[in-house]
Amino acid sequence: MHIASYDDDRIGVVVDDQIVDVTDLVPGPRAKWPPVGMVQFIAAFADDLSPVREAAERGARRPLSEVTLRTPVQWPNKLLAYPANYTDHITEMSSTYNARIKGFFLKAASSLTGPAGPIVVPDLPGCSIHHEAELAIIVGRGGRHIAREDAYQHIFGYACLLDITVRGDQERVMRKSFDTFTPVGPWIVTSDEIEAPDQLDMVLTVNGEVRQSANTRDLLLDIPGMIEMASSAVTLQPGDVIATGTPAGVGPIVPGDVIDIRIPGVGEMTVPVIQGPAVRNIAFGASA
């Protein structure tokens, strides 16, 4: 199934070019804020999607074009990311480490944005801002100390993800955490539909030109390895998002660019880049 967040924290199942509202499958009152509906939904159905499947079959459908898709998990407990997880990207960055020995880092969850973006790039004179195409893992059943043999039982699904990054020596967390720097979408494809997550093609274009093209078989730390490593340190929670690393071909983006990421079997996002305001931040050398 393709499970999407849309409009005002609604949850829907996308069937072709239509969507069925399944928000009310999660019982109980719902706060307007924070938008944690999808986290509760994943916690409720991580181990058995059949109620969702039944509701999607009998529910009223409306055109997908009538709704606004949001980032699938708007308020996850954690947004984790693995650096340097494809050899060709390590080579292009002249990195001296990789994900297997470095482990993961965190991005601010507030950097998440929807599949239509836009990516708002700050005005940071002299700084290069790069695209990174990645497969996102969406955690289903949570847990700590998950063995790699059990890892796939903890994966709810997959999505496309862009890890937008200011290059520089500043803390990685700050360089990667600007608002809108993590578009995810267009929906979560549940893991039962992805027969071979370790053999997914991924293509990123900028203004129609191919910049990144890869396959998840080339991940250095593979998907079970990422779940095992993350959960050795932190308790994974339902709805946690894991960015799995980017292959070679990263490059600068500027306002006016249109970025497209496509993972056949998962989905496609087309995201415009627009100019944001100047950043008053002495870490980036701006004057106060």
What DSSP assignment string belongs to 172-216? HHHHH-STT-EEEEEEEEEGGG-S-GGG-EEEEEETTEEEEEEEG
Q: Give the H or E element holding residue 156.
A: strand 155-162
Is residue 163 part of the contact set for Mn ion (CB under 5 A)? yes
| Residue closer to Mn ion (CB basis): 49 or 161 | 161
| Residue closer to Mn ion (CB basis): 2 or 175 | 175
Report yes or no: 36 and 70 within 8 Å, Cβ to Cβ. Answer: no
Minimum distance from residue 134 beta carbon to Mn ion (Å) = 6
Is residue 244 part of the contact set for Mn ion (CB under 5 A)? no
Stretch that binds Mn ion, among 12-20, 45-53, 130-138, 265-273 (CB under 5 A): 130-138
| Residue closer to Mn ion (CB basis): 43 or 99 | 99
Is residue 246 part of the contact set for Mn ion (CB under 5 A)? yes
Among 39, 52, 72, 132, which residue interacts with Mn ion (rule: CB under 5 A)?
132
How distant, in Å, are the alpha carbons of 23, 77, 121, 257 from that of 52? 10, 23, 38, 38
Is residue 135 part of the contact set for Mn ion (CB under 5 A)? no
Report yes or no: 122 and 175 within 8 Å, Cβ to Cβ. Answer: no
Is residue 182 part of the contact set for Mn ion (CB under 5 A)? no
Number of residues that bind Mn ion (CB under 5 A): 3
Please give the Cα distance from 281 to 127 (Å, whole number).
Answer: 13
Binding site for Mn ion (CB under 5 A): 132, 163, 246
